[in-house]
Every structure is written in C-alpha cells, then in structure tokens.
Structure 1
Amino acid sequence: MSELATEADLARARTDPEFRRRIMAQSLEILIAALHRARRGSYRPETVRQIKEGTDLAVELADRLQHIYTGGGPQAA
C-alpha cells in the first residue's frame, strides 16, 4: 500500500489488528513526508496553519500507535 487508504483498506483495518497497525504507520510516514515538503515551501499563513494541523495529527497518530504497541488496542477517533 503506497497511496492513501481506500475504503476497502479501512474496512479491513477494522478487523485485522496487524493491518491496522501497518496502515496507521504508513499513514504517519505519508503525513511526515508531506510536512517536510510543506516546510520547504513558502510560509504563507495558510501553509503555517496546515503544518500545525499536520503536526497535531501526527502526534495523535503516534499516540495511537504507541497505545497499540503497548497492547492497549486501537482507540476511538
């Protein structure tokens, strides 16, 4: 899976914990790469807002991954 998650991927992630972990980790990698690309661009107010939102999402996703790795299972969105 190298693109954003499809509806089929999301449905599978609901029932397959290992797949859910992989899809969350890959989504985090995609988000971080997008943040790096945005950071190299202009710093218009809209770009700064998007970087902040992306960072907040990355932190939330990392927290969820940590929860999964420690045996807590997925958290509700």
Structure 2
Amino acid sequence: AGVSFNPEQLAEAITRKLPDFKIAYKPDSRQAIADSWPQSLDDAAATADWGWKARIGVDEMVDSMLANIDVSLGKAA
C-alpha cells in the first residue's frame, strides 16, 4: 500500500525527469495474473503494530530507479 501507480502514471513520472522518454506497452497473458490481485492492500495492521508508513511516492521511486540504472550502466548518478 506504500506506493500505487499505473503504467501511464509511471511514464509521466519518468518523463518529468527525462523529457525525451517514450514508452509503448501492450498487456499480454501476464495481465490476467495482475487482474487477479486485490485493487488495494490494507496496511492498517502494519501501521498499528510496527508504525509502518510509506516513505516514498512514485516520483521518489523514479529518482531511485534512474540513479540505480545509471550506476548499473557504469555512469555517475
């Protein structure tokens, strides 16, 4: 329940960092698996028991992804 996004929202977040970013996607047979998942998760018990709180949103996740992709490709972040 920490961060939720769809492909379009993820692409928009990436485009804010990389304006020339383009994406094309087409659901395949794996979409049926994703469709079987719950639409949301209830993290109330984790919040109550452990003090769980999401620390990042989609924009912060994209920052981390891009930094780590650069590192894995041998580029400075």
TM-score (norm 2): 0.28
From the CA coordinates, give the structure whose radius of gyration is larger.
2
More RCO (CA 8 Å, sep 6+): 2
